[in-house]
Structure 1
Amino acid sequence: MKFYPLQFEPILKDRIWGGTKLQSVLNKEITSETTGESWELSTVPNDVSVVTNGDFKGKNLNELIHLFPAEILGESVLERFGAQFPLLFKFIDAKEDLSIQLHPNDELAQKRHNSFGKTEMWYVMQADKGSRLVVGFKKDSNKEEYLEKLASKEIISLLDETEVKTGDVFFLETGTIHAIGGGVVIAEIQQTSDVTYRIYDWDRVDANGNGRELHTELALDAINFKTTKAKVNYENKLNQSNKTVHCNYFKTNVIPLDGKMNWESHKGSFTVLMCTEGNFTLEIENDMYAYKMGDTVLLPAALENASISGKANILEVWV
């Protein structure tokens, strides 16, 4: 069986805070004017990605892993996670502020939801002037102060707001309170989990006058009340893979490409490339594969090396 770079049908999600940049910036065929998320690679139940190219076209990611576990995932991923894809990849368009929220750790998520926790990272692809992210507390807080400000709808006064620009990276450990601000397009890499504890939603209501569910009690013992340094500084050397976020769940490097470079596989793991700017081409065993901004490609672990050429910015992710 010949393995090759795999692309998947985007799974589009309508959100109360979504907009149209997934189309205007990332060329997705969106379904509404409030499309907030494009799930690029997912094995979340009922949202499993389906291949759009080559011999495996029409098969979903779980089917491929079942047929070729070591060749798709890699031996070390199999040892750690079994025959399941451990990550979820998204593009997010926040036309308006997302809710203020957090995610539980593995232990809580397993106990309550039979799920992984949700450690994640953000790469800012586009940001309107003055747009910002909310990440963590301004100073160490506690349960009492937090509940008081939550009750008086002043929770934002405790939280750290950071103005952002293209290329900014944030690493969000579980328990970190956060919100993506309006005007930002983000590439998000996270554990395979859809467990979110929403604590404040700006008093928004839907067309029927109903607010979204809040998870005040569930969130209490999941919150990290300490300050956190979520913004990541990284080198940006041209035509190299620059270390960005390396954690227990995933490793992400940034490749600023202008010309050509060799790519080597990460032994024992698949690799995912997300094109956040420009265009690039992969050459593998004399076969050429072209990608543009907004494309996500899964390189099965069975692929050993390639050359990459073009003018682009690429996120390189493996486990």
Structure 2
Amino acid sequence: MKLYPLKFAPLFQYRIWGGEKLKTVLNKKYDEDSIGESWEISDVEGCETVVYEGVLKGTTLKDLIKEFKGSFVGQHVYENFGEDFPLLIKFIDAKMPLSIQVHPSDALAKERHNSFGKNEMWYVMQAEENAELIVGFNQKVEKDTYINHVNNATLDDILNIEKVKKGDTYYIPTGRVHAIGAGVLLAEIQQTSNVTYRIYDYERVDEKTGKQRELHTELALDAIDYNFYNNYKTEYTTKINTSEKLVYSPYFKTNILKVKGKLEKDYSSLDSFVIYICIEGNLGIEYNGVDYDIKQGETILFPASIDILNLKSDNSIVLEVFL
């Protein structure tokens, strides 16, 4: 059986802070209220996405890796991760602010949760006027000072709060305190992990449970990077029909690719799967004589065995993700 470009059926996640933009802006199909996340490609236990078209319809990522090994993910990826798919791809719609939170490192997550850590990045697809993100601290902070601010509900005094607009990009390494503010729609690329330490949640009550959500104040203390950094936002450039570096980390690499007209992409020298996340427009893709397409709010995965793609678009932007 030959591998082909794969789309997965997204999984929609209820969140206390979720809105309607996944439906109204990204054209997702669901009936529930307060859907905050669309998990596009996931190998998280209990939340595995499946292929939704073609002869591999219904197949999970783990099943694909078991069957095709390095031909699916890339030989070096298979050697490093075995049958675990290393990335989780999401769209996030924050009608209200997310909790202020932090993620543990690989070592801490392994020790405490037998999990990967959660290094991630955000690409802002839409932001309402005066929308904000919290990323890191606005000064170097001592642990005792941080604890006092937590206890006094004055965290805002030491947090770096930034106004954001469409196209803004942030890399969020483990240890960096962060939160997505109200009115932000974004694409998130992260390690396969569902470990989050909530630090502050505005004392709000989840209507589904009638309770406040659990905080992880003590667990967070040893996970936080208390340093101050001069710049948290990622600077980048774009050029038509050229893959431009966006975020390169030890955990994933992401380019931004604007396509206008026709473009051939040759991945024959890349020993990795490639994921396209369409953040604007519509992109036509031809592989092995078969036509595929993705539009804003859709993703597609190209197995490592795929070398040549022919792209065509009037004007589209995709995030190009690989290891």
Amino acid paired to 1:217: E
Q: Which segment drifts farther, 167-176 or 53-62?
A: 53-62
| Residue number in structure 1 paired with 2:9 | 9
Task: Give the CA deviation at 1:74.
Answer: 0.7
How big is the shift at 1:264?
A: 1.8
Residues of 1 paired with 2:31 and 2:215: CA distance? 27
Deviation at 1:80, TM superposition (A): 1.6
Aligned to 2:277: 274
Question: Which residue does the alignment assign to 1:115?
Answer: 115
Q: Say what the alpha-carbon RMSD is for the aligned residues.
A: 1.0
Q: Distance in 1 between matches of 2:101 and 2:179?
A: 6
Could you tell me the percent identity over the aligned residues? Answer: 48
Matches within 5 A, 1:70-149: 70-149=70-149
SS at match of 2:9: coil
The count of corresponding residues between Structure 1 and Structure 2 is 319
What's the CA shift for 1:260? 1.7
In structure 2, the partner of 1:237 is: 239
Matches of 1:6 and 1:209 in 2, distance apart?
Answer: 40
Alignment of 1:243-254 (within 5 A): 243-254=245-256
Give every structure 1 segment of 4 or more consecutive aligned residues whose post-TM-superposition deviation is greater than 4 Å: none
TM-score, length basis structure 2: 0.97
Q: Deviations over 1:172-229 (max 9, x none)?
A: 1100000000100110000000000000001111235421000000000000000133
Aligned match of 1:314: 318
Query: For residues 32 and 164 of structure 1, what CA distance do their matches in structure 2 show?
Result: 28
Whole-angstrom distance in 2 between the partners of 1:206 and 1:58:
33
Residue aligning to 1:27: 27
Whole-angstrom distance in 2 between the partners of 1:163 and 1:10 = 29
Residue in 1 that maps onto 2:296: 293
**Equivalents in 1 of 2:322, 2:33: separation in Å?**
33
Matched AA of 1:239? N
- Tell which deviates more after alignment, 73-82 or 297-306: 73-82
Segment drifting more, 158-167 vs 30-39 = 30-39
Deviation of 1:83 after TM superposition, in Å, equals 2.2
AA in 2 matched with 1:312: S
Gaps of 5+ in 2: none
- Once structures 1 and 2 are overlaid, which stretch shifts more, 294-303 or 53-62? 53-62
Q: Is the 8 A contact 1:240 1:261 kept in 2?
A: no
**TM-score, normalised by the number of residues in structure 1:** 0.98
Please state whether the residue corresponding to 2:199 is helix, strand or coil: strand
Could you tell me which residue of structure 2 aligns to residue 51 of structure 1?
51
Counterpart of 1:306, as a letter, is: L
Separation in 1, partners of 2:159, 2:145: 12
Following superposition, the deviation at residue 31 of structure 1 comes to 3.3
Question: How far off is 1:302 after superposition?
Answer: 0.7
1:121 aligned counterpart, secondary structure = strand
